[in-house]
Structure 1
Amino acid sequence: MGLGGAQVRRAMRAGLACTVLVSLAACRPDLTPPGAPTSWPSASARLWRWQWQLDGVLDVTVEADVFVLDPVSTTAAQTADLRARHRRLVCQVHVGTVHPDDPDATRFPPQVRGATATPSGRTWLDVRRWDALRPVLADRFRLCRGKGFGAVLLADADGYTHSPGFRLDFDDQLQFNRRVAALARSLDLSPGLRGNLGQVAALAPDFDFAVDEECVRLKRCDKLLPFVDAGKPVFHVEYTGGLTDFCVTSVGYGLASIRKHRNLDAWRLPCPVP
């Protein structure tokens, strides 16, 4: 589902007027400081500035309201610095895979391990074995809370769409993802969904926000509308093209969009906030 030409032109004129007539900061309402778990006021759903950094030295000075970071490599001092700046902090946790370098890799028994994905080297987990996975995931989430994160982004929550080495189906994955979201909430973390567009419509009520990669290039931004229509933020990234190539489309869908390098270092180019 796309926008008509008149709608696109109105959106562009409104954005240009805001940029030209007043400063970008004046275009944005005051944002409620984050709490625990992180809140996402619906009035600000389309206005977030965000950063996603998983590689390189963390740049805490980036002008972003939301930072998605790795909970292991990010230090408590860095999160304290960001929280002092009233940044919302999201830890990315792989809930459906394990990597040999993960500090807790030995806690996953052989019977829950499946096929290894290339080139990431991450091994898929049997998400049907909740009793075996829950304690490890709970400790991953506690690490996030202990370092001052208020939200968690669930990565690799779509094993059923790959070849995980198990006979996972749609319902297996759906039940697992809902369980993990509930686990996050029980530990005072706001849950977010990365990718897994095939289950967005079913999972939008269970999650507070979503992160998507390249929905403009892949022509699938409409699949994220269940979050947008519910007043929940969708953080979107493209890895190719200039801002003019995708910002009008993504902002038209109500997404908070940036351009990044694929290795997710500190560099970013944000789309104008509408």
Structure 2
Amino acid sequence: MSPSWISRPRDIGDKSDVNVNSSPVSRSCLSRKSKRFWMLLCAGILLLIVAIGLAVGLGVGLTEGSGGGGTSPSPPLPSNNNTNATSGDFWRPTAGSSWQIVLQNPPTDTSLNVSVYDIDLFDNNASTISAFHTQNKRVICYFSAGSYEPNRPDSSQFTKPDFGKGLDGWPGELWLDTNSTNVRSIMSARLSLAASKGCDGVDPDNIDGYDNDSGLDLTESTAVDYLTFLAIEAHGYNMSIGLKNAGAIVNATVDFLQWEVNEQCVQYQECDLFRPFVAAGKPVFHIEYPSDAPAVPLSTKNSLCDAPSAQGFSTVIKEMSLNDWVEEC
């Protein structure tokens, strides 16, 4: 049982002020007149306190009502209507498109009956992507757009001012200042590389630094601005581009991005955040990582694949390593 049920021992400050040896006179030394004076004084002080309390309460209410502060959540960002981010002749997948994602290594099994493969930009060459195309499969090329990875071929091009804090759970990986001209120049080169390899679209990861302890001045607005920049660049190469997680900016980006890649929205009960993509006829490429993968019980598979909140999503069950193993829904 919690110790809070035990009565607190009385300390010296809690003891009675009455001295048992005091005489009746010493304990009742106030006259009726002085008693009335003190009673009136106490009443006046009490009324003053009440008046101050009402004034403060009214002031707080006026401040909150006028939008001058308070703790109410910020309103959602408006939809970005930058026409430069939506123009171009690029692939537009439809909601419900089947897919597979393999990032740990180049995929060894390319025969799955799916229409889309999401693979690593750097670890796969143009011939791998061409082979997918001969099977009438589209290819999304993954890269981290918001973090520094030490072992990428272009890692040396980042400079110290580009770096924020480390990513929790990813040793050596650092958040990037996506407002940096140098970072954007490197990402432009990555998009050019993706186009030269024949990628149909790109999957830019880690653009949600605003929602993490990045050590940088990143906000939802800067994330939308960065994605607008990436979309204009990608569409200029006739490539599609999607949103990775980042539920807070779905409504601000759904008009100019072509899909959503989401991880674990069933587990975290947040699938409704990503439904605007499906409502717009665009796919939500959805991944769940059950702890017992790859030996996933049928009951677990059914609960993930048939989750009402993810109906219409393109759901796959994967291991966290994102190797070739997949359980399709």
Give the TM-score, by structure 2 length.
0.67
Say if 2:169 is the partner of 1:126.
no
Question: Cα distance, 1:57 vs. partner?
Answer: 4.7
Contact 1:69 1:90 in 2 (8 A): yes
2:229 and 2:311 mapped to 1: Cα distance? Answer: 29
The alignment covers a number of residue pairs equal to 232
Say if 2:231 is the partner of 1:181.
yes
Letter in 2 for 1:138: S
Contact 1:60 1:78 in 2 (8 A): no
2:308 and 2:158 mapped to 1: Cα distance? Answer: 39
Say if 2:309 is the partner of 1:258.
no
Say if 2:279 is the partner of 1:229.
yes
Alignment map for 1:170-249 (pairs within 5 Å): 170-240=220-290, 242-249=300-307
% identical equivalent positions: 27
Say if 2:103 is the partner of 1:50.
no
1:149 and 1:78 mapped to 2: Cα distance? Answer: 10
Rg larger in 1 or in 2? 2
1:178 and 1:252 mapped to 2: Cα distance? Answer: 27
1:145 is matched with which residue: 195, 209, 212? 195
1:183 and 1:139 mapped to 2: Cα distance? Answer: 10
Deviates more, 1:65-74 or 1:109-118: 109-118
Contact 1:152 1:191 in 2 (8 A): yes
Change beyond 3 A, Cα 1:254–1:100: same
Dislocated runs of 4+, deviation >4 Å:
none
Deviates more, 1:165-174 or 1:147-156: 165-174
Contact 1:250 1:256 in 2 (8 A): no
2:311 and 2:125 mapped to 1: Cα distance? Answer: 35
Larger relative CO (CA 8 A, sep 6+): 1 or 2?
Answer: 1
SS across alignment from 1:102: coil
Change beyond 3 A, Cα 1:61–1:219: same
1:239 and 1:167 mapped to 2: Cα distance? Answer: 31
Contact 1:76 1:147 in 2 (8 A): yes
Partner of 2:156: 106
Q: Deviations over 1:56-82 (max 9, x none)?
A: 451212221100000111122211111
SS across alignment from 1:211: strand
1:108 and 1:56 mapped to 2: Cα distance? Answer: 24
Question: Cα distance, 1:250 vs. partner?
Answer: 5.7
Say if 2:138 is the partner of 1:88.
yes
Give the TM-score, by structure 1 length.
0.80
Question: Cα distance, 1:252 vs. partner?
Answer: 5.3
Contact 2:288 2:316 in 1 (8 A): yes
1:157 and 1:91 mapped to 2: Cα distance? Answer: 16
Q: Deviations over 1:156-179 (max 9, x none)?
A: 010111111112222122211221
1:39 is matched with which residue: 73, 92, 101? 92
Contact 2:146 2:205 in 1 (8 A): yes
Structure 2 spans left out of the alignment, 5+ residues: 1-88, 291-295
1:250 and 1:69 mapped to 2: Cα distance? Answer: 28
Question: Cα distance, 1:251 vs. partner?
Answer: 7.8
Say if 2:217 is the partner of 1:164.
no
Deviates more, 1:159-168 or 1:244-253: 244-253
